[in-house]
């Protein structure tokens, strides 16, 4: 450390100020580390809670409905849908809060198209997208429009090195996804 300009007459004063500054920096770094650890803890807790929810039910369909409904409740979504790839298209398997959804064929087609859009591009899609995102979102726009222009987020499911399905999250108009919520959903 070199003291430039007008060095204080008493080097102990400069040393004390340096120590105070270092303590402030150490405290700041400690708070940031604690925030990161709390974020990781929340993500882990959410993932474990979802696993526990799935294990409370027998059979895939009941467990999947419970998990997507739990996700919808935790994330303030009006609907969460889970679909899997069959050939080149996605088949919607479960929708939150719904044991049966056969009567809503238009909704199922829109959800499948949104999942296909994310899987075909091999990326998460948020609609409306930030201006700097250069990905196709027309299927998401159609789904959003059909659901009163709420925000739509689709996250592809990657197993080993293969995309096997997707989860689509829908929020009501004015209830946008925050960056922290998106990171939590990706982790879950």
Model confidence at 146: pLDDT above 90: no
Residue 1: predicted pLDDT: 64
Half-sphere exposure of 69 (CA within 13 A, CB side): 13
What distance in Å separates the CA atoms of residue 66 and residue 99, rounded to the nearest whole number?
10
User: How many angstroms separate the Cα of 65 from the Cα of each of 31, 36, 87?
Assistant: 38, 31, 23
Residue 180: predicted pLDDT: 81
Model confidence at 7: pLDDT above 80: no
Half-sphere exposure of 187 (CA within 13 A, CB side): 17
Condensed to tens digits (0 to 9), the pLDDT of residues 27-68 reads 899 899 998 888 788 877 877 887 888 888 889 889 999 999
Residue 128: predicted pLDDT: 87
Residue 163: predicted pLDDT: 92
Model confidence at 165: pLDDT above 80: yes
The enclosing H or E element of 30 equals helix 11-55
pTM of the complete model: 0.76
Band (pLDDT 50/70/90 cuts) for residue 164 is very high
Place of tokens 């990905």: 135
Question: Considering the chain, what is the average pLDDT of its residues?
Answer: 86
Nearest residue to 147 (alpha-carbon basis) of 119, 124, 127: 127
What does the DSSP 8-state code read for residue 144? H
Model confidence at 95: pLDDT above 90: yes
Residue 39: predicted pLDDT: 78
What distance in Å separates the CA atoms of residue 154 and residue 135, rounded to the nearest whole number?
13
């Amino acid at each position: 450390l070199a003291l430039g300009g007008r060095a204080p007459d008493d080097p102990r004063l400069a040393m004390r100020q340096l120590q105070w500054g270092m303590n402030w920096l150490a405290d700041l770094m400690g708070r940031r580390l604690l925030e990161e650890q709390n974020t990781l803890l929340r993500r882990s807790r959410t993932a474990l809670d979802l696993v526990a929810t799935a294990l409370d039910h027998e059979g895939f369909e009941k467990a999947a409905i419970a998990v997507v409904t739990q996700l919808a409740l935790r994330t303030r979504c009006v609907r969460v849908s889970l679909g899997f790839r069959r050939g080149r298209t996605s088949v919607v398997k479960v929708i939150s809060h719904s044991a049966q959804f056969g009567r809503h064929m238009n909704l199922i087609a829109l959800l499948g198209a949104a999942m296909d859009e994310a899987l075909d591009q091999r990326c998460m899609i948020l609609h409306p997208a930030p201006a700097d995102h250069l990905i196709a979102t027309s299927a998401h726009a159609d789904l959003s429009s059909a659901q009163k222009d709420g925000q739509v987020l689709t996250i592809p499911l990657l197993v080993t090195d293969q995309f096997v399905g997707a989860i689509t999250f829908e929020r009501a108009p004015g209830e946008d996804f925050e960056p922290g919520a998106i990171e939590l959903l990706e982790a879950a």
